[in-house]
Structures are given as structure tokens and as C-alpha cells.
């Protein structure tokens, strides 16, 4: 029963990372009105990023905020316009890698990505918007699927200045997400890789 249990836990992990599993009211500002970082080149996003904070009404996060694991992602550019994303984190002490492909969605800095359905009828496509970034330091990224919105703060370092954290919280509040639904992740214990049995490849969906 270990394998089915791991898959169930992984589905919950995905829901937490993507901000799903919630029933929020509509955001105060529609995602399509978020201003993107106009001068940002895709190549500037390449490399390793650490998940510092996340604002979301995800029920999993609310119930398990004391169990958050250090999470990191690596970014590569595909075909000059898509992004290959690998997210690394632990689940039951085991390092997992989740692979996704962000494809352009019209305007600069906007992407769509197919994600594994949760089995509850949720939309299997997610919108992603790079709202603000200093590629040497931090990025604030918005995620929206059929069930909700989340805002994430990534850093080139696992610890960012108070000024950057304040900017993140301001952007989250503008989307109707207060500090009460903002969570911060551990700054140590990151995974660098996962074996072949612990890779979830969503690029083939």
C-alpha cells in the first residue's frame, strides 16, 4: 500500500504547491489585469530559485502550515519561448521532482501549464503570470486555476530582505490575500535531485 499512499500524498502536495483545494471568493483584481515585468527576458529566469513565501486560501496549507518543507525549482528555456520547470521538495522524507512546461499564453510574462487533475473536477490547466522580478534577487509569480489563486515569492537565496517580503505581501493583499493566508517556507533542507521512481512528469499530460 506504500505506493498508493505516496501518490495520494503527492496529489495533496501538488494541490498545496499550486494553491488548489480551496473555495475562495473572486480575487479583487483579475489575474489578466496583473502588470507583468515587461523588460524581463526568459533567459534571466534560468537557474535555481527558492520558494520563500506563498499566499493562498488553500485548505491544505492552512491545515499543514507547520509541516511545510523546503522547496526549490530550477528553470530552463525551451524553444526560445517556453519554460521547463522542475520543482524539488521532500515528501515523507523522500525527495520528489515535479516537471512541468510553461507555454506562452499571449502577452509577455504570461504562461499556461497543464497540471494533474485532483479527481475533484478541478481544471487541469493553470495560468501563470510573472508579475514582478529582479532576476538577480526575487520574483513574484501569480498562479490561477479553476478553483483559486495563489501568489508566490521566489528568491535566488532562501532568505530575502524585509523590503522584498513587504512587496510580496502588498501584491498579495492587492489580490485579496492577506497576511492571514500567507505562509513562509523553511530555509534549509533543500533537495537537489530525485531518483527515477520519485519523478512526476506533467510535461506529458
The predicted structure's pLDDT at residue 94: 95
d(CA 164, CA 152): 12
Residue reference for cell 528555456: 77
Cell of 126: 493553470
**In CATH, what number does 2-204 get?**
2.40.128.20
- Regarding predicted confidence, which is higher, 7 or 71? 71
Cell representation of residue 104: 506562452
55: closest CA among 107, 131, 157, 137?
Answer: 131
Dump pLDDT digits (tens) for 166-184: 999 999 999 999 999 999 9
pLDDT in tens, 6-64: 544 555 555 555 555 554 444 445 687 788 877 889 999 999 999 999 999 988 888 98
Locate the domains of the chain by residue range: 2-204
User: Is the pLDDT score of 69 beyond 70?
Assistant: yes
| pLDDT for 169 | 97
The model carries a pTM of 0.84
How far apart are the C-alpha atoms of 25 and 40, rounded to whole Å? 31
Amino acid at each position: 500500500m506504500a505506493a498508493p499512499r505516496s501518490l495520494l500524498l503527492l496529489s495533496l502536495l501538488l494541490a498545496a504547491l499550486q494553491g488548489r483545494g480551496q473555495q475562495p471568493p473572486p480575487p479583487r483584481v483579475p489575474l489578466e489585469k496583473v502588470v507583468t515585468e515587461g523588460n524581463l527576458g526568459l533567459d534571466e529566469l534560468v537557474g535555481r530559485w527558492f520558494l520563500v513565501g506563498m499566499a493562498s486560501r488553500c485548505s491544505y496549507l492552512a491545515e499543514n502550515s507547520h509541516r511545510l518543507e523546503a522547496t526549490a525549482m530550477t528553470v530552463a528555456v525551451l524553444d526560445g519561448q517556453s519554460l521547463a520547470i522542475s520543482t524539488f521538495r521532500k515528501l515523507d522524507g523522500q525527495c520528489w521532482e515535479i516537471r512541468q512546461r510553461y507555454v506562452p499564453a499571449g502577452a509577455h510574462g504570461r504562461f499556461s501549464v497543464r497540471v494533474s487533475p485532483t479527481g475533484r473536477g478541478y481544471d487541469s490547466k493553470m495560468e501563470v503570470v510573472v508579475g514582478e522580478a529582479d532576476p538577480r534577487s526575487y520574483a513574484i509569480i501569480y498562479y490561477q486555476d479553476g478553483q483559486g489563486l495563489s501568489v508566490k515569492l521566489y528568491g535566488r537565496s532562501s532568505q530575502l530582505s524585509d523590503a522584498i517580503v513587504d512587496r510580496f505581501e502588498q501584491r498579495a493583499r492587492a489580490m485579496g490575500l492577506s497576511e492571514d493566508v500567507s505562509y513562509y517556507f523553511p530555509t534549509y533542507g533543500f533537495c537537489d535531485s530525485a531518483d527515477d521512481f520519485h519523478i512526476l512528469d506533467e510535461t506529458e499530460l
